[in-house]
Amino acid sequence: MKNRLKVLRAMHDLTQEHLANDLGVTRQTILAIEKGKYDPSLELAFRISRYFHTTIEETFIYEAPDEIPP
């Protein structure tokens, strides 16, 4: 899942460490989410969206697979 976390963080002049501390996660978690290597839990996705005063849809972009198996 793509996301705008790095852009939002930059717009608010936040380091990964600062955001991680505010959200109660590790810096590595923030890095992994930004790189698309980790999809946050629904709870964390909501916390991130609330933190930046955005909707989940504005923060995380769902990409459906090309083909859905039968």
| CATH number for 17 | 1.10.260.40
Q: Domain count of the chain?
A: 1
- Record the tokens describing residue 26, joined without a space: 């590790």
Whether 17 is in a domain gets the answer: yes
Whether 69 is in a domain gets the answer: no
Query: Is the pLDDT higher at 37 or at 69?
Result: 37
Whether 28 is in a domain gets the answer: yes
Whether 49 is in a domain gets the answer: yes
Mean pLDDT of 45-60: 97
* Host domain of residue 10: 2-59
Is the pLDDT at 69 greater than 70? The verdict is: no
Give the pLDDT score at 70. 62
